[in-house]
Structure 1
Amino acid sequence: MNAWGLSTEGGTQAQGLAALSDHQRAVLRCLARGLADHEIARVLAVSQRQVGVVVNEILRILNLRDRIAAVVFAHETGIIRLPVPGGALLD
């Protein structure tokens, strides 16, 4: 288990990421950036309802319990990288 409680044994995260379609990964990236469903819908030119359906598919495929776990998953797998405040201090 890693610091966030997600299992990384046996390449589980990489396998999960590979199981997602390009569209699902795009939704996951938007979700991880903190966008709400209506914002994701606008960015990806789909309906807000479709975004909700895709988020539920992502949670099911990755066996995650909620959106927060999906955001953590996205960051831990490197699908998205945001700057760390004060990152220079961590080097």
Structure 2
Amino acid sequence: MTWGLSAPRRQVDNGLSTLTERQRAVLRYVARGLADHEIALVLSLSQENVATEVAAILRTLNLRDRVHAVVFAHETGVIKTPLPVPR
């Protein structure tokens, strides 16, 4: 497996289809660096519900922690961050 910006997008079933729509929304906000209380405000959930969803995402996708969730989100195209254009 390769890591980093040059890593190819995962073409196989990456587990995203097993997540609920709410979990995919939470994952997008986690990948953007929001804390549980910030995600709770945006999605009108309790902070406890967000923490439960994050734990379920990590368990379902077999990820160790939030950092791995961020990497996963970027590598699978859950969110797309534009890269700076070299000058």
Per the normalisation by structure 2, the TM-score is 0.87
- Deviation string for 1:9-57 (max 9, x for gaps)? 87142xx111111000000000001000000000000000000000000
User: How many angstroms apart in 2 are the aligned matches of 1:3 and 1:46?
Assistant: 33
In the TM superposition, structure 1's runs of 4+ consecutive aligned residues that sit over 6 Å from their partners are none
User: How many angstroms apart in 2 are the aligned matches of 1:45 and 1:66?
Assistant: 23
Residue 58 to residue 78, structure 1, CA distance change in 2 (3 Å): same
1:88 shift after superposition: 1.4
User: How many angstroms apart in 1 are the aligned matches of 2:41 and 2:69?
Assistant: 20
RMSD, matched Cα:
1.9
Gaps of 5+ in 1: none
User: How many angstroms apart in 1 are the aligned matches of 2:20 and 2:37?
Assistant: 21
Query: Secondary structure at the residue paired with 1:89?
Result: coil
Structure 1 letter corresponding to 2:2? N
Identity of aligned residues (%): 55
User: How many angstroms apart in 2 are the aligned matches of 1:10 and 1:41?
Assistant: 31
Per the normalisation by structure 1, the TM-score is 0.83
Higher relative contact order (CA 8 A, sep 6+): 2
Give the paired residue count.
83
Greater fraction helix: 1
Gaps of 5+ in 2: none
1:3 shift after superposition: 1.4
User: How many angstroms apart in 2 are the aligned matches of 1:28 and 1:20?
Assistant: 10
